[in-house]
Amino acid sequence: MKNKKELLILLAVILIGLFAVLAVVLPKVLTFKKTDNLEYKCKHSYGCSGTFFGKKLCAYKDREGITEDIACTPESVSEDAVVNIYLFRGDGCPHCEDLLDFFTELKEDSAYKYKFNLIEYEVRNNRDNKHKMNKAAEYFDLNVGNVGVPFCVIGDTYKIGFSNPLYLSDEDKKEQADKFKKMIDDAYYDGYTDIKEYLDK
């Protein structure tokens, strides 16, 4: 009887100790802390979003819109996954400024902030940049004389012009934004040929 009582006391002490340890450890292990990805560019659409059991996770949203948390490490990230966008613009061009504002806002969108880099070429006051713009036009078999600014190259496609969203209906505004987003998504998910080397020749 005495041994049974001592055993019960010992078990109670062990359980109390175990609960005390869990009370300290579990919050640290199980808490999903939102973090910003400052160490490296994440190739996944939502960027690194938290940690679980000490591992950084990434809220990844694939092309079908399925979201899941996956382990994300620097080794799994490829700089090539980031889409380089080449924007040929001109000082004093209001449509160019509107497009710049669009990309600035898009960089605040968690679904796109890590998907692209914006590389600008001012062409009205820079002959080298104007030459690059002409080469980009030739790359897409465009008549150089008919290409104005803003001229934007995204992946294997291009877009000339941009409408000020303030003067568009909600439907047209969404349609314009969706076209640019689709160009980015197509290059991001399907891959593309970067024209940087071609422009620098």
- pLDDT digit string, tens, across residues 137-170: 999 999 998 999 999 999 999 999 999 998 999 9
pTM of the model: 0.64
* DSSP assignment of the chain: -HHHHHHHHHHHHHHHHHHHHHHHHHHHHH--------SS--SSTT-EEEEETTEEEEEEE-TT--EEEEE--GGG--GGGSEEEEEEE-TT-HHHHHHHHHHHHHTTSTTTTTTEEEEEEE-SS-HHHHHHHHHHHHHTT--GGG--SSEEEETTEEEE----GGGS-HHHHHHHHHHHHHHHHHHHHH-----HHHHH-
Domains annotated on the chain, with CATH: 30-78 (no CATH), 82-200 (3.40.30.10)
Q: Which of 2-6, 17-21, 54-58, 115-119 has the highest mean pLDDT?
A: 115-119
